[in-house]
Amino acid sequence: MRKNIIITAVILAVTGWQCSKVDQSLSLKESIEQSAVRINTAFDEIAASEGYRMLSVTGDDAKSDFEEGFRDSIDLDLIAGIYDYKPGTGQTNNFYFPVRLFRKTGTSDELIVNLPEKLVFHPRYLHFFNRADSALKNNFKIVATDYHFYYNWWNNSDYKLDADFLLDSKEIGNLSMFSSWESGAEGSHSRNYTFPEGYTVIRGSETGDTSKLVFALAQDNDTLLMETLMFYGEGFSRKEKLYILSIGNVDIMRGTAFDSIQVFLDGVLQETAGVKIIDDQDYNASICHKRDIQLTFDDGTVAKLSELISPARETMRSLSKVLGDMYFSKQIIDYIAFSIYYNNR
């Protein structure tokens, strides 16, 4: 029941954004082209941001496997406080956290951690202690206003994180995420990151008899892009039930309840528009991967979505992957939280 509540919240959070501010007097072709420009601009600015650089930290860096042995639960009140990176203030007997890396320097209802940016952008230096890093300036700040990690031996888990990040006292974004899993297989998750430039990228999913995926981009309260997929099965046996792609004020829909692919402009069915969905024999049916949309407009011209948003597509793929994997939260936020928790016991 809880997973349905979570994915509903994800979809409502996305659909709750206002309709795109594309000029409603434009034709279908003009609306698509204008929206594509806005999407390309948005992802171009995102790709140049420090927040994107932080999220893009991946498993290419060496890491420990501390989470494999973690079977415990942590609430924010157990680790709340202000902590500075100051390693060597005490040795521990814990296998996963042999060195006390952080010293508590103040009280707070939040989890506030100050550490060198090197440890964030190159996590191997966080996981494998280098004494020379003790001299680095603590110029990166994590402010977690909400955090909990619940896990039990039956592979059920519940996770929540809401945190702001600052580099050299400048805000670089906010990460909000939650997930709930049952038996390690069925569950839901939502991850969204808001950049200081006003852009928010969200990725949500639900697994079960009918699985759902959502990927979206907004600017303030204005929806620029949203892709929703519902399907049965997994892998190459996956069968699509419903697909909706919203680009500004244009909606493209395909589903088992429709006779054909439908295109709407400001909610009005465009009966003469031609649409073809191209999957390139790829079961991962998303424009963030290999899915493409070919449109034929009233004037007879043809355009592929992949060409219209070509500048943005690589960044879209990257964000879809990193928000799906969430290496950053697991190997940085959780690692710090667990380290503080175990070393304070």
Of 321 and 11, the one with more pLDDT: 321
Domain boundaries, position 215: 2-344
Q: What token pair was written down for 265?
A: 């402009």
Of 260 and 238, the one with more pLDDT: 260
Could you tell me which of 55, 58, 52, 107 has the C-alpha nearest to residue 79?
107
Could you tell me which of 102, 25, 153, 168 has the C-alpha nearest to residue 333?
102
What phi and psi, each to the nearest 5 degrees, are found at residue 190? Answer: -140, 130
User: Side-chain half-sphere of 319: how many Cα atoms within 13 Å?
Assistant: 31
Give 23: exposed, middle or buried? Use CB within 10 Å, 0-12, 13-18, 19+: exposed
Residue 225 near residue 246, CB atoms below 8 Å: yes
pLDDT digits 0-9 by tens, 50-90: 999 999 987 655 455 555 555 668 999 999 999 999 987 55
| Contacts for 200 with CB less than 8 Å, ≥ 6 apart | 192, 193, 194, 217, 218, 219
Most trustworthy range by pLDDT among 152-156, 222-226, 288-292? 222-226
**Whole-number Å distance between alpha carbons of 276 and 258:** 14
**Whole-number Å distance between alpha carbons of 205 and 235:** 15
The whole-number pLDDT of residue 5 equals 41
- For residue 6, pLDDT over 70 is answered with no
pLDDT digits 0-9 by tens, 199-236: 999 999 888 788 899 999 999 989 999 999 998 876 66
pLDDT band of residue 15 (cuts 50, 70, 90) is very low
Of 269 and 15, the one with more pLDDT: 269
- For residue 152, pLDDT over 90 is answered with no
**How many domains are contained in the chain?**
1
Give me the mean pLDDT over the 162-172 stretch: 98
* Residue bearing tokens 């999220």: 55
- For residue 32, pLDDT over 70 is answered with yes
